[in-house]
Amino acid sequence: MLNDKVVLVTGAAGGIGRATAVAAAREGARVAVADLNLEGARETALLITDAGGSAIAMRTDISVPGDVRAMVGAVLDRYGRLDGAFNNAAIAQWQCGAASAKIGDIGEDAFARIMQVNVTGTWLCMRAELEHMSRNGGGAIVNASSISGLVGRAGSGAYSASKHAINGLTKTAAIEYAASDIRVNAVCPGFIDTVFVSSSLATRGDALLASVPMHRLGQPEEVAELVVWLLSDRARYITGSLQGVDGGFMAG
């Protein structure tokens, strides 16, 4: 599906990002793996090269403009082009000391950090990618949103606000760049089996699974399938969409 394409995946040291980087390589892409966690990014790249694919790993903090410029610059230096990007890196409230905090109880630092990484970081990545893709004949971008970008969920107000903001960036860019042959979509995963949901699982695992019609967590690979397809030319008439992958959660 991605033969001859160069694909960038942020937050690809593990979880959904790693699964997507590996799936993109399996589908023929050369893959740039970026993460704050360089060790993990290198492990992902090694999974790809050990299987006969091509990958580079880099340390990037998506909330730092210079890092994001350097990330896209490194992809162009190595591969000469960028056809697809999965802007997947993000943080949850528990990673900022605001686990399960109600709107009125979230600290200023935690709120600002979530916005800085999830919203500003995603926008910085989009800006750098769009700049290159507009000059080079098009491309496809997928942003990581969430079911929390579609509905409110108690205890995740800052995270939910950040994912709703990503939907706005996604839809606006889809309109603005359609004429440049750049498609921009978002995926909205439900509860996926990664460290990201470990805190919620530990405190309210039964309730969480009861809210999913399929009564199980999704696997990172099940999200990766959707992302890879959206990045491919098979999804050529799809832009500005928010695609669910949630075991039926949003149907409830």
Ligand X SMILES: NC(=O)c1ccc[n+]([C@@H]2O[C@H](COP(=O)([O-])OP(=O)(O)OC[C@H]3O[C@@H](n4cnc5c(N)ncnc54)[C@H](O)[C@@H]3O)[C@@H](O)[C@H]2O)c1
Applying CB under 6 A, which residues contact ligand X? 10-11, 13-17, 35-37, 40, 60-63, 88-91, 117, 121, 144, 146, 189, 191-192, 194-197
Examine the residue annotation and report whether 159 is marked as an active-site residue of this protein.
yes
For ligand X, the closer of residues 170 and 194 by Cβ is: 194
* Residue with Cβ nearer ligand X (37 or 134): 37
CA–CA distance, 43 with 45 (Å, rounded to integer): 5
Closest separation in Å from C-beta 36 to ligand X: 4
CA-to-CA distance for 79 and 87, rounded, in angstroms? 19
Q: Considering beta carbons, is residue 6 or 150 the nearer one to ligand X?
A: 150
CA 230 vs CA 58, 136, 140, 195: distances in Å: 24, 19, 8, 25
Amino acid at 199: S
Contacts of 214 (CB under 8 A, 6+ apart): 247, 248
Which residue has its beta carbon closest to ligand X?
15
CB of 51 to ligand X, least distance (A): 20
- Residue 115 CB, nearest approach to ligand X (Å): 12
**Burial (Cβ within 10 Å: 0-12, 13-18, ≥19) of residue 104:** exposed
Tell me which residues are annotated as active site: 159
